[in-house]
Amino acid sequence: MKNCKKNNRYWLAGLIMLVWLDASTGQAPGFETTLHAGAVWRHTPKLTTRTGKLLWGQEVGLRFQTTGRRDWQAWQRYPVFGATLVHFHLGDGSHGDGFGLIPHLSVPVFRVGRFAAFFRLGTGLAWVTRPYDYFDNALQNALGSHWNNITQFRLGGEVRLDDHTRLNVGVALNHFSNGASTLPNYGVNLASGYLGLAWSPQPVREADFLPASASKRAVKRWGGLLQMNFANIEYGVFDGPKYAVWGGSAAGLYHFNRVNRILLGIDYEFNHAIYEFGLNSAEFDNKDDARRGATRLAVFLADEFLFGHIGIQVQLGRYVGKSLNQYVLRQNYSKLTIRIYLPELFKTTLQPHLGITLKAHSTTAEYISMNAGLAF
């Protein structure tokens, strides 16, 4: 199980590097630094970690402003890619200090003269200094491991002070979670305001943005996507055994245009923790009942945004089926998936992809899974 946990980290780190290499190719580098002020949000009454106290954090990183060298950059209004090192002093009552490496993508909402509004999504690896420990730190239950995922959402504005310098200000939500790979895992949700400064050694002006040479209109409207996923989680018991969650999905998709498509499909999961728990606790009469109880079936609707070889998908699902879906936290769930698409196979439309998914019920993460699949 320890090796599987390490493999999860290596998979995540490898995917981050693939995204980084794909995003940074041909872009003009710049530098940015950011100061955060915020507090941990008490998103569940079960959380014993300290909340509500003013906390400080900072970021320092690289950014790559796209300028339309590829058509999709113009279609997506010239987004900004980057990677940042982040630190939050969570405090003695909130797991000590959190450090993270976050590759990120900032998508312009609108531009007016020197001002632009951006939505930013980033996800990466984090390390916290004081996770839950039964003997040494039993009063903090947000995070059960040193290694975690960190996901950051930012909404803010950017003012161009001159051709090299930009001032950033806005609000952020910073989420630490290990995806239930080690319990407890109620997660740290840290809401903050931020102020930052970005500087580029090369001037970046509106005149530098190149128009697309091709139409944004979709060449083919309809397609499909198949995906398999795997997660390895603790279930119900702190410091307990880990169980596999296997799953798959099939969806039809419709392209609104060449950088945005909607998906409608079916999700399937088999949760070994529920299977073993139900048999050992006599919740199920036999293995067939246990298999049905451990099976989850759902329908989902998703929207995927494409940035070159990178896809970002937001998904809403609802469990369906009688005698299935036992021990689910809620009837509805959400998923955030980041994929990197590989080259098409054999000069066809078959396109493999690798990715990671964060699944949650309301504000509580259930797992982080590794994914592989095929789009066509």
Q: Do domains 2-208 and 222-375 have the same CATH topology?
A: yes
Determine the topology of domain 222-375 in CATH: Porin (2.40.160)
Structure tokens at 352: 């493999």
Supply the pLDDT for residue 25.
45
Q: Please say if the pLDDT value at position 5 is more than 80.
A: no
Supply the pLDDT for residue 328.
82
pLDDT digits (tens, 9 = 90+) for 178-187: 887 888 888 8
- With beta carbons less than 8 A apart as the criterion, state whether 38 and 192 touch: yes
pLDDT digits (tens, 9 = 90+) for 127-180: 999 999 888 888 899 999 999 999 999 999 999 999 899 999 999 999 999 887
Q: Please say if the pLDDT value at position 231 is more than 70.
A: yes
- Reply yes or no: is the peptide bond before residue 184 cis, omega within 30 of 0: yes
Domain regions of the chain by residue span: 2-208, 222-375
In this prediction, residue 85 has a pLDDT band, given cuts at 50, 70 and 90, of very high
- Reported pTM: 0.86
What's the whole-number average pLDDT of the chain?
88
Supply the pLDDT for residue 12.
53
Q: First CA to last CA across the chain, in angstroms?
A: 35
User: For domain 2-208, is the CATH number 3.40.630.10?
Assistant: no
Supply the pLDDT for residue 237.
65
